[in-house]
Amino acid sequence: MININNITIREDFLTAYKHPYLGDAFYNQVLLKQQISFFKELLIESGQNHDPEFFYALLHMQLSLDIHDLVDLEFNLNSAHNRNQTNQLQVLVGDYHSSYFYRILSEHNLLDELYHLIQSIKSINEVKMSLLHNTTDDLNEQLQQIEAVHCGLYNSLMDYYKLDDYKEKNYSKLVNQLVYERESIWLDLLAKRDSAAKNVIDKRKNELYRRA
């Protein structure tokens, strides 16, 4: 399963697991091909003979994290009721996919992996809170936080499997594709808050491109 192409993986995953009350369009902004690709690379690089369900569990959790990101916390008083309904739906769907992550790892007795990844998920959510509350004025530090949010599960896998060589060779490409070559609500939020952010973002993108 892990050796088939990313588009097919995405289609098969959504056929099997998308929320029964939602159409495919809901998922257009999440479960990106590059996310699938890097999870595949890391699991292959680990050399572990994982059950395909572990791969699906990672997709579930990344999907859950990204869906929760879509929750609009900037309430417009003129449409607060509609936004509340949308937010509640997104939270429920995010929790729906999160529950699969925990169920799969528990059922397959992957408790070491579960414990390790739980710590990373907790850290990702803490960083999100820092970004939402704008706890620092340093734009470079905020970019590091945004990278930690988008790349947190991938960093966790590289740490767990001690993929130091892979990280040294591929980390710039991974960050560039997972953070800067996609629509990111976190980068959009940063740009809205500070007019200087665009230059800092462009500088970081150029730095990663040169290293890749």
Q: Is residue 81 part of a domain?
A: yes
How does pLDDT run across 62-116, given as a tens digit for each residue?
999 999 888 755 444 344 555 566 677 788 899 999 999 999 999 999 999 999 9
Under the banding of pLDDT at 50, 70 and 90, the label for residue 6 is confident
Q: Is the pLDDT of residue 2 over 80?
A: no
State the residue for tokens 């916390």: 73
Cα 130 to its chain centre, rounded Å, is 17
Q: What single letter denotes the amino acid at residue 129?
A: M
Counted domains in the chain: 1
Q: Is residue 153 part of a domain?
A: yes
Q: Is residue 1 part of a domain?
A: no
Q: Is residue 43 part of a domain?
A: yes
If you average pLDDT over residues 27-50, what whole number do you get? 92
* Of 36, 16, 12, nearest in space to 177 by CA: 36
How does pLDDT run across 139-170, given as a tens digit for each residue?
999 999 999 999 999 999 999 999 999 999 99
Q: What single letter denotes the amino acid at residue 56?
A: Y
Q: What percent of the chain has pLDDT over 90?
A: 73
Separation in Å, CA 169 to CA 67, 146, 165, 175, 212: 30, 21, 6, 12, 8
- The pLDDT value recorded for residue 23 is 81
If you average pLDDT over residues 125-151, what whole number do you get? 93
- The pLDDT value recorded for residue 162 is 97
Residue 124 to residue 3: CA distance in whole angstroms: 29
Q: Is residue 22 part of a domain?
A: yes
Under the banding of pLDDT at 50, 70 and 90, the label for residue 20 is confident
Domain range spanning residue 46?
6-211
- The pLDDT value recorded for residue 77 is 39
C-alpha neighbours within 13 Å on the C-beta side of residue 115: 3
φ, ψ dihedrals at 16, nearest 5°: -80, -30
Residue 199 to residue 173: CA distance in whole angstroms: 20
Q: Is residue 93 part of a domain?
A: yes
SS3 call for 156:
helix
Q: Is residue 167 part of a domain?
A: yes
